[in-house]
Amino acid sequence: MTTGQTVRLPSVDRILGDAACLALIAHYGRAQTLACARAVLAELRSTAMLAGAVCEEGASIAAIAAQMAERLQAQSRSQLRAVFNLTGTVLHTNLGRALLPDAAVQAVVEALQWPMNLEFDLDTGKRGDRDDLVEELLRELTGAEAATIVNNNAAAVLLMLNTLAQGKEVVVSRGELVEIGGAFRIPDVMTRAGAVLREVGSTNRTHLADYANGVNADTALLMKVHCSNYAITGFTKSVELDELVPLAAQHCVPTAVDLGSGTLVDLAQYGLPHETTVRETIEAGADLVTFSGDKLLGGPQCGVIVGRADLIAKIKRNPLKRALRVGKLTLAALEPVLRLYRAPDLLAERLTTLRLLTRPAAAMRAQAEILLPLLQGALGAAYAVTAEAMSSQIGSGALPVDQLPSFGLAIRSAPGSRLSNPLGALEQRLRALPCPVIGRIGQDTLWLDLRCLEAAHETAFIAQLDELSA
């Protein structure tokens, strides 16, 4: 554009009266369309002025409407978007952890569309307790006397400590003072709960005598915390729960266990590493157990506290319980997930999390062989794609050192490539697809683990590969 050139910009009224903009108003509403028209005109006017042009009324409304349509579409796109999780981590915290099974999805849809008996007892016609919707199931599946639900496991630990140990001491092994994602640290949670941490033992070795020496008149709880995201090996010693329970009983204080992830079934029966179940923990004598709903359990985000009925009743009377309680959507999703556990022989088929964890490497290998030529064709000669064995992990702190044999696509920069940071550039292009593809980069390779790409989503994945070559 040369200095002094005239640019004719139409008025806002003329733009909004155009047929293309009338369609935008019908879809996005007048207020949003009007604001967009003004913003586009302001940018065009500013650009023209910087170029030394003169703005006059009468330029192409069609071009302006096209810009508006693109901008309005971008503004209306949800920030929470579906992605393909090809990281190899099944319960990926940053990608929302557990995927709900169909039964839970349908229950949530119904709860979204209808009033529900969230706190209404249909038998008596009086006010009920929302925990009652799932408590019987949790008692059945865990062997505990009672249960209550809060919005996540961090809240469960906080509420338990605040209720039973405010102003008093909680004895914990120094080797169990964990930090999980988002800088959630057990010592910090204790401080916020008003409890006093009494560390015993050392980082790698804690003995029963250490717990015994840590107990005093101010002790409110003996607590064990599952080391969910790391493992200490070598010269180590820890005190098992069945050793700790008699000591707690001797001093008349409860024993609490934070399982972190928490599972309701023995994973070994599905060919996975064994993880201590909630029932095993209750049977070993724990008075209270806290665990997550959206990790190994395979349900919605929530925190579960199970244990002695008198302690659960006290926890439920804490005013903090109202601040940390769950809503109808969480309970609608949790109940059908818990019901699936009544049929453990069908669980690997019906529970999405377990189905992904037990997916055979051979099935992923066959899938990789189908996808390889399609992805290679889309990427061209700048990259070399191969089908290779790789290792998945459960994620979200569950069995952190255990790997699952998997298979997928390995992408490397072709020899002689002139691209700057080719793998980083490709990873960004994959994330920019209509349904972003999330992989992981390591060892000069972009790894696309196929464990979480189920057959139902394969067509959608293939359909967008052509956009990589654009």
Q: Is the pLDDT score of 169 beyond 70?
A: yes
Q: Is the pLDDT score of 97 beyond 60?
A: yes
Lowest-confidence pick of 145-159, 270-284, 396-410: 396-410
Angle of helix 186-193 versus helix 153-165 axis, rounded to 10: 50
- CB-based contact 101:341 (threshold 8 Å): no
Residue 238 has a pLDDT of 83
Q: Is the pLDDT score of 401 beyond 70?
A: no
The stretches of 29-96 forming alpha helices (DSSP H) are: 30-50, 61-76
With cut-offs at 50, 70 and 90, classify the pLDDT of residue 470: low
Nearest to 307 by CA among 93, 156, 424: 156
What's the whole-number mean pLDDT along residues 377-381?
A: 94
What's the whole-number mean pLDDT along residues 140-169?
A: 96
Q: Is the pLDDT score of 418 beyond 50?
A: yes
Share of the chain above pLDDT 70, in %: 92
Residue 53 has a pLDDT of 52
Nearest to 172 by CA among 126, 128, 150, 203: 203
Distance of alpha carbon 363 from alpha carbon 450, whole angstroms: 9
Lowest-confidence pick of 256-265, 373-382, 411-420: 411-420
- CB-based contact 224:257 (threshold 8 Å): yes
What's the whole-number mean pLDDT along residues 330-343?
A: 98
With cut-offs at 50, 70 and 90, classify the pLDDT of residue 113: very high
What's the whole-number mean pLDDT along residues 79-89?
A: 96
Lowest-confidence pick of 159-173, 294-308, 366-380, 388-402: 388-402
Angle of helix 309-317 versus helix 153-165 axis, rounded to 10: 100
What's the whole-number mean pLDDT along residues 330-349?
A: 97
- Could you tell me the two tokens for 155? 């809240």
Mean predicted lDDT score pLDDT of the chain: 91
With cut-offs at 50, 70 and 90, classify the pLDDT of residue 230: low
The larger pLDDT score, comparing residue 50 to residue 444, is at: 444
Model confidence pLDDT, tens digit, residues 182-221:
567 888 888 999 999 999 988 788 999 999 999 999 999 9
The stretches of 173-319 forming alpha helices (DSSP H) are: 186-193, 208-214, 241-250, 278-283, 309-317
With cut-offs at 50, 70 and 90, classify the pLDDT of residue 336: very high
**Distance of alpha carbon 14 from the chain centroid:** 48
Residue 395 has a pLDDT of 84
Q: Is the pLDDT score of 84 beyond 60?
A: yes
What's the whole-number mean pLDDT along residues 389-407?
A: 82
Strands 54-56 and 288-292: unpaired
pTM of the model: 0.89
Q: Is the pLDDT score of 58 beyond 50?
A: no
Strand partners, 437: 84
